[in-house]
Amino acid sequence: MNNRCNKWQIIRQLHLVLSATIICIFCVFFSTGLAASAAPITEIQRRGYLTVAVKDNTPPLGFKDADGKLQGLEIDLAQRLAADLLGKTDSVKFQPVRNRDRLSAVYDHQVDMAIARVTATESRSRLVSFSVPYYFDGTVLITKDASIQKISDLQKQKIAVLNHSSTIAEVRYYIPEAELVGVDSYIEAQQQIENNTVVAFAADASVLSGWVQQNPQYRILPTKLSTAPLSVVMPKGLQYDEFRRKVNEAIASYIAKGWLKERIKYWGLVS
């Protein structure tokens, strides 16, 4: 009898612990505001808006203006997709994200898509789906030295590169006699140029386009050392097939009609 009572007491205690754990998980998950919001196109249309992860500190792709309003090529693209998919440019809710959260926001179904300076790569495509590219980023060089007009002028010169970046291999390939100086940030690179420690800085065209707009004494040399396709990030799964198809068709039409080219030029991005 005692053994039977003990058994039922243990089972009851386990049941209470399990219930409390489930309640705890439920509360924590939904109190964070990260409840899954990615949805098939029919649900998005019924809901009436897109949820899009974007950058808010990367001009001219995505940034906040003096009034705190989001601006940039990627913001334009998100609003144009909202107009085509839902009928209104303002049928979109933006969620600014850090670089490390751009893929997980889509993979974990926190947003419908990410338009956040994401390069489409084979390894990333195992986790998420990519649209056709809306912009080809890549490595370029920036300088304020008037004597530097082309890449060959940088042979045997000092060039700043971000530590541990793929840019290092690209610069070594195209400018083998240059001396590379590692830096940990764009700010440090600018300090190196201003102090005449280096004559140029190699980094992504999208970021350096914004740098030149804010610092007109700098120039971007005309040749890209590489190209990298920036694409809209969308979730995998058969339920999202129609959504992905509509997004791809829309972006393809923006390319064909010249809308993307016009917006790229408007935002001063290196094409």
Q: What is the pLDDT of residue 2?
A: 44
Residue of 95, 90, 100 lying closest to 52 (CA atoms)? 95
Band of the pLDDT at 271, cuts 50, 70, 90? confident
Q: pLDDT (tens digit, 9 = 90+) per residue, 254-270?
A: 999 999 999 999 999 99
Q: pLDDT (tens digit, 9 = 90+) per residue, 220-255?
A: 999 999 999 999 999 999 999 999 999 999 999 999
Which H or E run contains 220? strand 219-220
Section 32-42 average pLDDT: 62
Q: What is the pLDDT of residue 126?
A: 95
Q: Lowest mean pLDDT of 16-25, 198-207, 245-254, name the range.
A: 16-25
194: its two tokens: 């201003």
Is the pLDDT at 17 greater than 70? The verdict is no
242: its two tokens: 């129609």
CA distance 90 to 220: 34
Q: For the chain, which domains are there?
A: 41-136+229-266 (3.40.190.10), 139-226 (3.40.190.10)
Is the pLDDT at 5 greater than 60? The verdict is no
H helices within 87-125, ranges in order?
102-107
Structural contact between residues 58 and 210, judged by C-beta atoms closer than 8 angstroms: yes
Task: Report cis status (omega within 30 of 0) of the bond before 229.
Answer: no
CA angle at 231 for the pair 225 and 235, rounded to the nearest 5°: 145
- Grouping H, G, I as helix, E, B as strand and the rest as coil, residue 159 is strand
Q: pLDDT (tens digit, 9 = 90+) per residue, 159-196?
A: 999 999 999 999 999 999 999 999 999 999 999 999 99
CA angle at 255 for the pair 93 and 263, rounded to the nearest 5°: 60
Q: Work out the percent of the chain whose per-residue pLDDT is above 90.
A: 85
